[in-house]
């Protein structure tokens, strides 16, 4: 059996498809191909459960021609948008699409009516392949760092273990703690902190590190995604916003303290662990009538007050990280 799985973006969403890929490979012995945007190919190309990765580039026609040659038995659409529908239509193969719960998300964001499904998005992904006889194996997420991308912490200028990996980056500002809160949290951590994020977070990370001192090392913009994942894997605790590295941390079974601003865990994308394991502690401001204001995020608070993040208690967050380190060590 040859199966094409489609998920175009983004980091966290693609990591969350890993149980589907593993179960297709292990339970059906299928040849599994994956279609994603070119910049995300690295997320799956090292996955042993994926046999081939196709990149969505500038020429959809050339891509379709290449995919038609594969003669797939099934197309599993875990993105379910106009472009993925076009791929399915063009291939004319049996297909199934995952339920995005867009209406339920709209009701929660716009009317604050909560009729969201009471299960994680991973389970919604897996429902898509039930007809093929595939069932969830209870083993959580996968993420694979190639050996050449592993960070040797004894040969860099940052702190050696034990440390906290603090993921200060996120695609949207309304998902991130304010700089002032970030500094306050770092000042009360019992362990050194390594700040993780992209190039756009580098200056903010430098300002935080400068204010806190040698207790904090800013790695934002200095590491590839796989190198950042390696740092997460070697951390004692991961403190993170709702972002892709949060799901990578869950794939590594790390203790997580997750911070939620304009988005909410009820969207079904909280840290996903193997059955019987839950190492996540979520911090969110309950009772705000404006929250959630978006299923994705904004560059500034639509209400102007940003209480979903500014009302979070920095001391309580730091205490939770310190407690999870001590508990995990014990």
Show the tokens assigned to 174: 């309304």
Cβ count near 145 (within 10 Å)? 20
pLDDT at 327: 79
Q: Token pair for residue 104?
A: 């339920």
Could you give the CA distance from residue 184 to residue 181 in angstroms, rounded to a whole number?
5
pLDDT of residue 330: 62
For every one of its 330 residues, what pLDDT tens digit does the chain have, with 9 covering 90 and above?
999 999 999 999 999 999 999 999 999 999 999 999 999 999 999 999 999 999 998 778 899 999 999 999 999 999 999 999 999 999 999 999 999 999 999 999 999 999 999 999 999 999 999 999 999 999 999 999 999 999 999 888 899 999 999 999 999 999 999 999 999 999 999 999 999 999 999 999 999 999 999 999 999 999 999 999 999 999 999 999 999 999 999 999 999 999 999 999 999 999 999 999 999 999 999 999 999 999 999 999 999 999 999 999 999 999 999 998 887 666
Query: Domains, the chain, ranges and CATH?
Result: 2-132 (3.40.50.2000), 153-329 (3.40.50.2000)
CA 163 to CA 196: how far, in whole Å? 12
**Which helix or strand (DSSP H or E) is residue 195 part of?**
strand 193-196
Q: Helix or strand or coil: residue 306?
A: coil
Residues 6 or more apart whose Cβ sits within 8 Å of residue 33: 2, 3, 4, 5, 50, 51, 52, 53, 54, 70, 72
DSSP H or E stretch at residue 126: helix 121-127
What is the distance of C-alpha 203 from the center of its chain? 23
Tell me phi and psi for residue 76, to 5 degrees: -110, 110
- The DSSP result for 236-281, as a single string, is SEEEEESSHHHHHHHHTT--EEEE-SSS-GGGS-S----TT---EE
Report the alpha-carbon distance of residue 164 to residue 186 in Å, rounded: 10
**121 vs 271: CA distance, rounded Å:** 11
13: nearest Cα among 44, 38, 49, 45: 44
| 101 Rama sector, left if φ>0, alpha if ψ -120 to 50, beta otherwise | left
Q: Helix, strand or coil for residue 218?
A: strand
Cα 81 to Cα 127, 159, 208: the distances in Å are 18, 43, 39
> What would the DSSP string read from start to end of 62-80?
HHHHHHHTT--SEEEESS-
* pTM for this model (two decimals): 0.97
The Cα 77–Cα 85 span in angstroms is: 8
Residue with tokens 């719960």: 101
CB 146 within 8 A of CB 227: no
Query: CA-based diameter of the chain, in Å?
Result: 59
Q: How far is the CA of 64 from the CAs of 60, 70, 72, in angstroms?
A: 6, 10, 12
């Amino acid at each position: 059996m040859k199966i094409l799985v489609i998920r175009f973006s983004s980091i966290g969403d693609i990591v969350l498809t890993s149980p589907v890929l593993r179960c297709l490979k292990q339970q059906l012995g299928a040849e599994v191909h994956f279609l994603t945007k070119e910049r995300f190919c690295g997320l799956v190309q090292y996955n042993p459960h994926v046999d081939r990765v196709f990149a969505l580039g500038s020429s959809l026609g050339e891509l379709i021609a290449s995919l038609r040659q594969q003669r797939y038995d099934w197309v599993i659409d875990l993105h379910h948008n106009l472009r993925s529908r076009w791929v399915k239509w063009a291939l004319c193969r049996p297909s199934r699409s995952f339920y995005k719960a867009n209406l339920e998300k709209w009701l929660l964001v716009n009317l604050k009516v909560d009729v969201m499904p009471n299960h994680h998005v991973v389970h919604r992904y897996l429902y898509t392949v039930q007809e093929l006889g595939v069932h969830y194996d209870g083993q959580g997420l996968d993420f694979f760092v190639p050996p050449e991308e592993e960070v040797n912490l004894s040969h860099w200028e940052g702190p050696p273990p034990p440390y906290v990996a603090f993921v200060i980056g996120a695609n949207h500002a309304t998902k991130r703690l304010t700089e002032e809160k970030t500094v306050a949290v770092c000042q009360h951590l019992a362990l050194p902190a390594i700040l993780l994020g992209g190039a756009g977070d580098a200056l903010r990370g430098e300002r935080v590190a400068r204010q806190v001192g040698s207790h904090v090392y800013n790695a934002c913009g200095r590491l590839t995604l796989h190198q950042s994942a390696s740092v997460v894997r070697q951390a004692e605790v991961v403190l993170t916003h709702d972002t892709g590295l949060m799901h990578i941390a869950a794939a590594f079974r790390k203790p997580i303290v997750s911070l939620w601003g304009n988005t909410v865990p009820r969207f079904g994308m909280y840290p996903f662990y193997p059955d019987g394991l839950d190492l996540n502690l979520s911090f969110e401001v309950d009772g705000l009538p404006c929250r959630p204001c978006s299923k994705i995020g904004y560059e500034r608070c639509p209400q102007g007050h940003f209480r979903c993040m500014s009302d979070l208690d920095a001391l309580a967050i730091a205490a939770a990280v310190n407690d999870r380190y001590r508990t995990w060590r014990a």
